[in-house]
Structure 1
Amino acid sequence: MYRRILPCALVALAMAVGLMAPANAAPSLAEIQAKVRYLEEEATTAAEGAQEAKVKLIALTRTLNGIKAKAAVQGETLSALQKSLGTIAIEQYKAGGLGQSLELLFSSDPTLYLSSAGALDAISRRKSAQLRKYEAAQQRLSATTLTVNDKLALVVAAEKKFKAQSAKAQEKLAEAEALLSKLTKAERERLAKLAAQEEDADQANSQAAARALSGISGRAGIAIKYALKQIGDRYVFGSAGLVTWDCSGLTMRAYQAAGVSLPHSSAAQSRLGKQVSTKSLKPGDLLFYGRPVSHVGMYIGGGKMVHAPRSGSRVKITTSGSLGRKPLVGARRF
């Protein structure tokens, strides 16, 4: 009986103690540090969303400009056909049209009728052919105009998403700054020192791991070598070198050095190349994280990758498993 009552008593006691604890107890430095890091990661996720929207915006704008150029050419063609039809109408008017052909029919000179009738028939055929061309050109221009309007709507939507994601990223960083601003100067300095010590240790370990890496050839070897040279560089939203990076900017430039063109977006990169199983990874494969994809790193072998992690951090080598709340969701080979 006492064994059954004891746990209940302990729960009651714990609840009582909880009720007695200060309701607005100040968070510890460790809790603030964890919250700041969480906000920085949220900001990084939003920033990658902005990069994906930016890539789509650039592609849509390029397509829209191409369609507009096509519409301009079609408009010129339509104008030329209109002039051509006007010329034919003038020619037919000069030839006398139907009225003159009837006059010729009853003419006493059959030679004059035959020669003039042939000219009128040729003009009619030309007019009919040009009319068909004009109608077809008009339909093409109408269809192209509709396409322009559709693409323009997509461009506006992509631009809106880009701005919203960029604003969200800045908002998360502002939240982190607001948290830090509530600390005393001494507390802020202590947190900054702890963060710097952690990054310095990661950088030293990453550089040691990079020096030990060798024997990787081909495009993958060139890309890895490029990425490893950036160890210690700071993470900055939307940056693709040469002294600051975001995750997709680093992988984009690394593969650009190897002759492979990639977009500046982890989500966009995850749709390119050859899909490979995470169980059969090779050095140089790109690893993608999050649902939806919001981070990318480059596998270097031995269960490790080089990447630009998040705001407040630096390019480093880490294990290639899931990254906290961001699971490893796929890999691509280029």
Structure 2
Amino acid sequence: MTDDHASAAGAAESRPVEVAAPSDEERRELAGLGARARTAAGDVRGALALARDHVGWLPHPGTGRTAHLWSALATVAAADLTVARVLEPHLDAVAILAQADEQADAGTWGVFAAEGPGEPLRATPAGSSYVLDGRKHWCSLAGHLDHALVSAWVGADRRLFAVDLHHPGVTPVAGTWVARGLSSVDSGPVDMTTVEARPIGPTGWYLDRPGFAWGAIGVAAVWFGGAVGVARRMVAASASREPDQVALVHLGAVDARLHAARSVLQQAASALDAGDLTGADGWRAALRVRDVVADTCEEVVRRAAHGLGPAPLATDEDHARRVADLDLYLRQWHAERDQAGLGRLLLDDPVSSW
């Protein structure tokens, strides 16, 4: 790209992504957030600073301004997915603690709740608290964060705990994160040895609470923003070369799919704030939204590759990194397995569908 073209593309990447029409004040907040995310692009330390600074003014899901929260996540993702990958779990952790009527200690937070191979992380009662022992997989930025919400097993039951990641028994396992996408967001395993842990909520609460589905939709808002960033690169390309009919076909298809994804996010935000996304309804909505958004993102990446050809993937650092980041980020969607789960919900309660 020329310098002028790159400058125009950078400005577009900072522009707010609006899940629903914001107020003037909210639009200014989103614009400032997008600009700062663009400045911190690819920089984990800058992303952590952004997360610390913005957690106070971004709302929790279900408190009446969910669309603004998801617009913020999408805006950051359109600017840079590394920054979004840092911000999203930090906000999720703080929201989870609020749902449990717990106070979030100062500093940055992560959520380590995925299961991996081998023996799971175990929690053992120790007086009025617990200690954790074993290996926890998929611990994003464990070497950079201050705290994390960590799931562990107490016998045959799963429970959530708050952990100080500066505890001497916390040891990130080096050398396992070889990803090309989100390469600076090391999400390798962590070994824990007699690590003090504070229980958050009762046994099973983490998965049973309504906020689990709400957080899952928030991740979809990040994917959506990443796809918008890819689509904006397609639009920017027209500044240097008049699009032919094939390029216009790809642009039109991308616009229609992004509109559909934005619509389902907007509808889910409204339903959530109205108190309608609890229980099975919440999880059904999450599976639906994630399916629509993830499919949109994969289609946008495919259309961009067909429309733009190999040059941006080979010579445009921002675009190549965004495509690789989004491709890996989307693997948080379980694809056909999640579709099968949605199908099971349909058969269990067909009256509530369609």
Q: Do these two structures clear the TM 0.5 threshold for a shared fold by scoring above it?
A: no
**TM-score, scaled relative to structure 2:** 0.20
**TM-score, scaled relative to structure 1:** 0.21
Structure number, greater radius of gyration: 1
